[in-house]
Amino acid sequence: MDEETIARKADWQAVLDDMDLDQDGALNREEIRVAMSRGGYNPTDEEIESMFREGAFDDGKITFEEYFAFMEDMPDPKENLREALDVFTEHAGEDGAIEKEKLREILMKGIPEDDANELLDAVDVNTDGLIDKEEFITLLMNV
């Protein structure tokens, strides 16, 4: 294992240890719920169950190795931001804004239509049908 992987593993171990309220070395459903609520998200019971099903955490616990593998598979947020900015730059008009409908098409490749509509309606504060750079930044911070 290279030094970078060892360092990432140590970082993720510290995160898991902070979330592991009963200090048993694994995360249960309630610990996941508490950790997510600390981050400002209050998942439903169904969302928690879905996470455990999708992650194949059949024993009701997420061990460190499972957690580490899951987190390593997560997309790099910086890379996602770069990709989003590339899309914005590619589709922006001369005025530096992108048409709301074009951005809706792009967003719907990764999120449900209702969510895309809600996000775009929230960030198009001047309701001109265009998303300018400031509105786009707001959008990225809310995705």
Of 119, 49, 110, the residue nearest 75 (C-alpha): 110
pLDDT at 24 over 90: yes
**CB-based contact 12:68 (threshold 8 Å):** yes
Percent share of the chain, pLDDT over 90: 23
- Same domain? For 58 and 13 the reply is yes
- One-letter amino acid of 103: L
Final residue before a domain boundary, out of 73, 92, 113: 73
- Same domain? For 102 and 64 the reply is no
Q: What is the predicted pLDDT for the residue at 131?
A: 84
pLDDT tens digits for 39-97? 778 889 998 888 888 777 778 899 999 888 888 877 666 676 677 777 777 878 888 88
Q: What is the predicted pLDDT for the residue at 23?
A: 95
What span, in angstroms and rounded, lies between the C-alpha atoms of 5 and 3? 5
The number of folded domains in the chain is: 2
3-state helix, strand, coil in the chain (%, to 5): 65, 5, 30
Final residue before a domain boundary, out of 52, 73, 94: 73
CA 9 to chain centre: 20
- Same domain? For 95 and 111 the reply is yes
- Same domain? For 12 and 63 the reply is yes
Q: What is the predicted pLDDT for the residue at 107?
A: 78
Extract the tokens encoding 46. Answer: 């169904």
Range of the domain at 41: 3-73
Q: What is the predicted pLDDT for the residue at 21?
A: 95
- Indicate which CATH number applies to the domain containing 86: 1.10.238.10
- Same domain? For 37 and 84 the reply is no
pLDDT at 4 over 80: yes
Q: What is the predicted pLDDT for the residue at 92?
A: 80
Higher-scoring residue by pLDDT: 82, 105:
105
Higher-scoring residue by pLDDT: 132, 83:
132
Final residue before a domain boundary, out of 35, 57, 73: 73
Q: What is the predicted pLDDT for the residue at 105?
A: 83
Q: What is the predicted pLDDT for the residue at 95?
A: 80
pLDDT at 139 over 80: no
Mean pLDDT, rounded, of the chain: 83
- Same domain? For 68 and 89 the reply is no
- Same domain? For 58 and 81 the reply is no
